Amino acid sequence: MTTFLSGVAIAVLSASAVEAAPLPAGQNPAEVASLQAAEDRLFQAELQQNVSAIDAALADDLVFVHATGQSQTKDQFLQSFQSGKLKFTSVSATNRVIEVWGDIGVVRGESDKVLGPMTLSDLYLAVYVRQDGQWKLKDWQTTPLSPPKPGGMPK
């Protein structure tokens, strides 16, 4: 059953990847596509609980701010996956606006993540840095679009 859910969720993630907003003026389509692909790989790694792939996608000085206001470092964020506290059964991103300036990229969008019995629907802002040719998530901030359904926010 878990394999089936993961397969369905990956399909949902893949379908949502094409739902980016129109390209902002002055942006290089190849650069934007590169950053979008890196973010899609991170979301897929989160879905699959692939801690080594998540680790590789994060900058060492990551600051991850959840919709609850809880802030985590890279090590704390990775521990949430290692411990099973964050175990998504679906991850999708829509309405993304992606901009790249040299080795800095910014993504604004909406995400839906299913965590146990809850669906977390958020607006998010993500800042990426390109290090050794690879995009790495440096900062993440979410704002809830609506209260989680059902069961409340995870602690």
Share of the chain above pLDDT 70, in %: 80
What is the pTM assigned to this prediction? 0.80
The mean pLDDT of 128-145, rounded to a whole number, is 97
Domain boundaries, the chain: 2-144
**Above 80 in pLDDT, residue 87?**
yes
- Give the bridge partners for 110, in sequence order: 94, 123
What integer best gives the mean pLDDT of the chain?
85
Q: What is the DSSP string of 63-90?
A: EEE-TTS-EEEHHHHHHHHHTTSS-EEE
The mean pLDDT of 143-150, rounded to a whole number, is 77
**Above 60 in pLDDT, residue 4?**
no
DSSP state of 145: S
> If pLDDT is split at 50, 70 and 90, which confidence band does 98 have?
very high
**Strand, coil or helix: 151:** coil
The mean pLDDT of 116-131, rounded to a whole number, is 94
Q: Which CATH number fits domain 2-144: 3.40.190.10, 3.40.50.800, 3.10.450.50, 1.10.3720.10?
A: 3.10.450.50
The mean pLDDT of 112-121, rounded to a whole number, is 90
Q: pLDDT tens across 15-42, in order?
A: 344 445 667 778 899 999 999 999 999 9
